[in-house]
Structure 1
């Protein structure tokens, strides 16, 4: 029981450190290309429009960093 709790704590601490060091991750939809890439039936690659999720940047803010920013903004607004 103690080892499972320690493993969960280390995983959460590692993800928090990752979000602090690298707040942006690659977009999962376009794989960091910034454009939607499609493959047609013949296997040919077609480059489409800019990715809607990342707006063409190829990077997205991680969920943990988004939660951190929200908590920090909430604390800042409440401490005024």
Structure 2
């Protein structure tokens, strides 16, 4: 049990480091080419818009949690100078 927990923690730490170092990964829909092969020819990938890279799931979750934290901890401005900060 301890070995399994340590291995899972190491895998999660490795993925977090990967998301921090390289937040973009290759698009899975077009295999990083930016184009989709169709019967009549090729077309830009709708998922990555031809940019060949997509934001990783872990980085998307980190950005979302940072945005939520920033929105929840924004200081309120007081209406008047004489107002106490705890009201």
Aligned to 1:32: 32
1:54-79 CA deviation, whole Å, 9 max, x = no partner? 01100000000000000000000101
Matches of residues 1-80 of structure 1 in structure 2 within 5 Å?
1-38=1-38, 47-80=41-74
Q: Computing the radius of gyration over CA atoms, which structure comes out larger, 1 or 2?
A: 2
More strand by share: 1
C-alpha RMSD over aligned residues: 1.2
Structure with bigger RCO (C-alpha 8 Å, 6+ apart): 1
TM-score (norm 1): 0.87
Normalising by structure 2, we get a TM-score of 0.80
Instruction: List gaps (5 residues or longer) in structure 2.
Output: 75-87
Aligned length: 74
